[in-house]
Structure 1
Amino acid sequence: MNEIIKLSIQEDNLSSHILHTKDEILKPQTQDYSIPPRFDITKIVILPVNPSKFYTYWFIKEDLKKQLENKTLRIKLFVENQEVLDMPVSNTDGELYLYYHAPFKEVFCILCYIENGECVEIAKSNIFIAPSDIISQDKEEVWYNKAKKETTTKPSIYKDEDFIKYGFYTTKKHLNQTPTSK
């Protein structure tokens, strides 16, 4: 591509329809950015994998790591503001999976350490509602178009016989059940 530009510009270095010289056009327009080996922040994030499995990862600032050298860090999982799991972790950046069945429940975690019998919070994660553990037997699927900010419905790809085949019942009692939140 640069060869074509060079050939077209060689005829006249500047004319009424060319606003730049060939050297200006062929000059690289990008800058090199280096990605730091680590981000100097303290943060914990939790993401749902399914209603029973959550992925969490955390970063700790270098100066804070030095302060926490002789302390055992812990990750505490909270469901509906109640502590349900308490796991010791190393005081370096890390990641792990947490297992607790909490469909339709508000979930978050904290990174902390215990000092004098008290939990000292270092960082708190994002909060989310855990996904459903119920397979919908609706006859239509609801799709949301984020660009147009509208919903549409499409016929479900599942048939009643699929639910029977895989052990789900399709009686009127089960078809009318809907999941409850919180």
Structure 2
Amino acid sequence: MGESSGTVPRNLPVTGRRRNMNLSEMTKKELYRLAVELNLANRSKMTKEELEQALDKAMSDNKTHSSTEQHKVHPSPVLPEKISPPEYPIPDRYQIDTAVLLPVNPRKEYVYWEVADNTVNRFKVQHESPEISFVLKVFGGNETDSGEELASVRVGRYGNWFFDLYVPDKMIWAEIGLMDNKGNYFAVAHSRKVRMPSDKISEMIDEETWMTVGEKIEDIYRLSGVNELDSAVPGSVRIFQEVMRFLETNASSSGTTAKREGR
């Protein structure tokens, strides 16, 4: 008997009901069909008793495997870690001795500064001064001299400050320095010298002579064919009158010519 021959009897229970089967009550042919369904090896050489034993073992193994799979805990899928883009925050400090002055208007100035940690530590050692102060100053003068002190204020190691100094059209600059515990001041960094804006109207006068609106209109009408304008009548009224007279004259001339030609 071949392993692939025959069909399963109609009264053979379906796979889902195998657990309720009584193999001892089945015929050898029914057992064989079940062995075909379960794909048992060497089934064609087995006796009825051997088929019962092999089927019973195979069905028990399948039941155990199904129960194990049913109660098996499947781990949750591991999602890839979300990679955040790198952040580049603007630092509060750059560890560079700096002083910058920016004019706002003729009576207000903005200054920002910084003193590096290395500068502070070196100053403390050189001047044997564990306690120091930071002093921000503003000077005024010209581009060549050292200038005069206009303002002075004690500040922190870094920061910004608004000054209300009314010095229009003057050269000014800022300076940040350190003061030891004996009151001695030492400059650290200074800004560029800048000229404050003026509080007056500019004295520069444009030397170019501009054409008036009336002159432009007159030139336009001259280009249109009006050669003579009555200078006794001012402005646009004069131009209007001359243009109308010019048009009437041309219209009359055109009518006379048309009559002569018999049109």
TM-score (norm 1): 0.52
Q: Which residue of 2 aligns with 1:135?
A: 201
Structure 1 gaps, min length 5: 1-31, 141-152, 156-182
Which of 127, 131, 134 does residue 70 from structure 1 map onto?
131
| Whole-Å separation in 1 of the counterparts to 2:171 and 2:108 | 14
Structure 2 gaps, min length 5: 1-85, 125-129, 142-146, 211-263
Q: Which residue of 2 aligns with 1:48?
A: 103
* Identical-pair percentage: 25
Q: Which residue of 2 aligns with 1:97?
A: 162
Which of 163, 166, 174 does residue 109 from structure 1 map onto?
174
How far 1:89 moved relative to its partner?
0.5
How far 1:35 moved relative to its partner?
6.4
Q: How many residues align?
A: 112
CA deviation string 1:11-56 (max 9, x = no partner) = xxxxxxxxxxxxxxxxxxxxx8956733221111000001111100
CA deviation string 1:128-171 (max 9, x = no partner) = 1111011348776xxxxxxxxxxxx8x9xxxxxxxxxxxxxxxx
Seen in structure 2, the aligned counterparts of structure 1 residues 43 and 105 have a Cα distance that, compared at 3 Å, is same
| Whole-Å separation in 1 of the counterparts to 2:204 and 2:192 | 31
Point out the structure with the larger strand share: 1
1:130-169 alignment runs, 5 A limit: 130-136=196-202
CA deviation string 1:59-78 (max 9, x = no partner) = 22122244567211111110
| Whole-Å separation in 1 of the counterparts to 2:204 and 2:98 | 40
Q: Which is bigger in relative contact order (C-alpha 8 A, separation at least 6)?
A: 1
| Whole-Å separation in 1 of the counterparts to 2:102 and 2:115 | 18
Which of 179, 184, 206 does residue 118 from structure 1 map onto?
184
Point out the structure with the larger helix share: 2
Q: Which residue of 2 aligns with 1:178?
A: none
